[in-house]
Structure 1
């Protein structure tokens, strides 16, 4: 007797499910934990996870119409702004004094953009809840590990140093998709406890940058939850406006900084350098000095060592008005696009945007590959969470009376 086709095992489907589960385990569980122990964890594990997801998609065709999705992304306002920003960065190689280093950085940025697109197209249209529940488990265990490292040390696993700070920053980004997923599953208490645990880990490990980013993200979460329409618009305008009006900031902030921190404080010195750059080279505000000059210019006396470490200064110094406008349009479009998602997901998405933007403004090394990779991971996780919302309630069993 022939077996029913529905009962026949499909090796390719089983293999795809296994590869997808391993890929999500790397993306949601291994990355946050390993980031506390080694500085290169995010850069190594994220491409491997995306490769497994892509291979799984080739095996079972879990993602539908990838070409249409790609065209939709590239032709959106955010996609066009990103293309302009990348093209202007490439054009700036003509006048940057650090062509080899800038070329390497541009290739890294392009590679991360391609990685994000590949991961986006490889994600299935419907996500299994079992795969997504790995995320809060990984975030919670990472917070516990951070507390253990704070008291016992890094167990001699961090040979280069700095992994704890980098790991806590990655954790501060990943906690928002974890909270969002739990909240969407009506597990608000668990989501609150997870957020408190991560904040406690950042506090006890002494990582002030992670704690500040979490605080700003929490404020954005609360604002979006209270005002679902006005909140995201206000945050989008604030982020884009700060980037567009960045050259005015040193003139506005320096008097207040002198009163609060004193005339000889590092903050006042950095604002003074920023103000001098704006007034001494006004034409450079249009073209910028070229990619990679904000960081390496300090080492070759092209820029004062007191120059501010913030993305607001670096974008204007390297890419000028064109780069700032493209970046502002990209920020505004991406944040406003989140308002089109399900209302239950919106506060967490806005909180993640605010946290990442705060890290850039507060001086994290945004030019580093691990930072771009971490942002790609967060975006892919949110896309996966959105695709896991296709059913929010279990179907009720209906009993039919038989005669």
Structure 2
């Protein structure tokens, strides 16, 4: 009996598989670990991982229906609002006093947007589970490494805090993947491990963001529709009503912190900016003015670093309204595709939003890179849900 000869291997497919595995290893494992020790890890490794995924897709044709995906992104309400926000940001260069610096920042924003789009298109329509299980392993290993580094004498506390913030963000896609596979005990242990890691850092911002995300995760798990609407409306409303916050929160801040506390001084500075130039609430002062204006006396030194203040000060009502539409539509749309993914996605939204409100420096390049990594993680997880259980074996009589 002549046996059929083995099918010849395809060098392109083999090379694509290697590049894709390496790209996901960097995205899921390398980034959370390296972010604990070097501030440039995110900015360097995220584009590298996306480039490797893009090369793999080009070799084996893994990027399918590219045109349909682009139309779906740009024709959506969130896509249109994002384009308006980017256009208004570009127009703000006309009246910003820091035009060269603002132009550089705008180019970085456009580059980040293109990078995210390229990563979205490069991820295959069907993800292998072997690649996705790298994510919880990487997050767990990074949490252990962070705790070891926190007790070391030579560790850089700033890098460690930034790495923990990245780790808190990446926890939610890792938990979501384990939850989608029915590994709820492993997901709980991973969350506890990351929470312990955040406790050993000198700054509590990461732990606070994790706590906010945990509450939203529990609410969305109990009621998916209500959790998605609560997250979407909370983010949009808080952004739109941000100019009223210094007047509403000040009495509470005085009661909790005292009249001479830095929190009250920050609220007073925010209120003075609003009252001194009320018309600027419509147009804003232009890109890059919230941070650089402090060094030139244009912005009170005590002004808050929260992105709620920054987006209103730089882009005004139009920018804030466009941003609110992007947040609302993104949260509502993301929660409806796969119900099992909803709690983790809403928790990631809440954590990232809370961290921005707490003032971690959302204008920096590493923050945009972190958000891109988290978004791509969820895209990969969503595309790994094409089969949730093994097919049953059926025995037939001869």
TM-score range (shorter-chain normalised) is over 0.9
Q: Distance in 2 between matches of 1:100 and 1:52?
A: 32
Q: Distance in 1 between matches of 2:337 and 2:262?
A: 42
Q: Which residue in 2 is equivalent to 1:296?
A: 292
Report whether the alignment pairs 1:259 with 2:258: no
Q: Which residue in 2 is equivalent to 1:27?
A: 27
For the Cα contact (< 8 Å) 2:335–2:345, is it kept in 1? Answer: no
For the Cα contact (< 8 Å) 1:168–1:207, is it kept in 2? Answer: no
Q: Which residue in 1 is equivalent to 2:301?
A: 305
- Equivalent residue for 2:233, pick from 233, 237, 242: 237
Q: Distance in 1 between matches of 2:158 and 2:335?
A: 36
Q: 1:272 to 1:5 in 2, by over 3 A?
A: farther
Q: Distance in 2 between matches of 1:376 and 1:3?
A: 50
SS at match of 1:363: coil
For the Cα contact (< 8 Å) 1:37–1:154, is it kept in 2? Answer: no
Which shows bigger deviation, 344-353 or 230-239? 230-239
Q: Which residue in 2 is equivalent to 1:365?
A: 361
For the Cα contact (< 8 Å) 1:270–1:307, is it kept in 2? Answer: yes
* Residues 173-188 of structure 1: pairs in structure 2 closer than 5 A: 173-188=169-184
SS at match of 1:152: coil
For the Cα contact (< 8 Å) 2:231–2:349, is it kept in 1? Answer: no
Q: Compute the TM-score of the two structures, normalised by the length of structure 1.
A: 0.97
- Equivalent residue for 2:385, pick from 378, 383, 389: 389
For the Cα contact (< 8 Å) 1:232–1:350, is it kept in 2? Answer: yes
Q: Deviations over 1:160-206 (max 9, x none)?
A: x6110100000000000000000111100000000000001101223
Q: Which residue in 1 is equivalent to 2:115?
A: 115
Q: Deviations over 1:239-265 (max 9, x none)?
A: 100000001111100111111111111
Q: Which residue in 2 is equivalent to 1:332?
A: 328
Q: Distance in 1 between matches of 2:150 and 2:212?
A: 23
SS at match of 1:135: helix
Q: 1:250 to 1:12 in 2, by over 3 A?
A: same
Q: Which residue in 2 is equivalent to 1:165?
A: 161
Q: Deviations over 1:61-98 (max 9, x none)?
A: 11211111011101111111111111101100000000
Alpha-carbon deviation of 1:207?
3.2
- Write out the 4+ residue segments of structure 1 that deviate beyond 3 Å after TM superposition: 1-6
Q: Distance in 1 between matches of 2:272 and 2:286?
A: 18
Q: 1:387 to 1:305 in 2, by over 3 A?
A: same
SS at match of 2:97: coil
Report whether the alignment pairs 1:67 with 2:63: no
Q: Which residue in 2 is equivalent to 1:12?
A: 12
Alpha-carbon deviation of 1:11?
0.7
SS at match of 2:39: coil
Q: Which residue in 2 is equivalent to 1:88?
A: 88
Q: Compute the TM-score of the two structures, normalised by the length of structure 2.
A: 0.98
Q: Which residue in 1 is equivalent to 2:317?
A: 321
SS at match of 2:101: helix
Q: Deviations over 1:336-359 (max 9, x none)?
A: 011222111100000000000000
Q: Which residue in 1 is equivalent to 2:100?
A: 100
Q: 1:4 to 1:387 in 2, by over 3 A?
A: farther
Structure 1, unmatched stretches of 5+, are: none
SS at match of 2:47: helix
Q: Distance in 1 between matches of 2:295 and 2:201?
A: 31
Q: 1:253 to 1:348 in 2, by over 3 A?
A: same
- Equivalent residue for 1:191, pick from 180, 187, 190: 187
Q: Which residue in 2 is equivalent to 1:286?
A: 282
Q: Distance in 2 between matches of 1:230 and 1:195?
A: 23
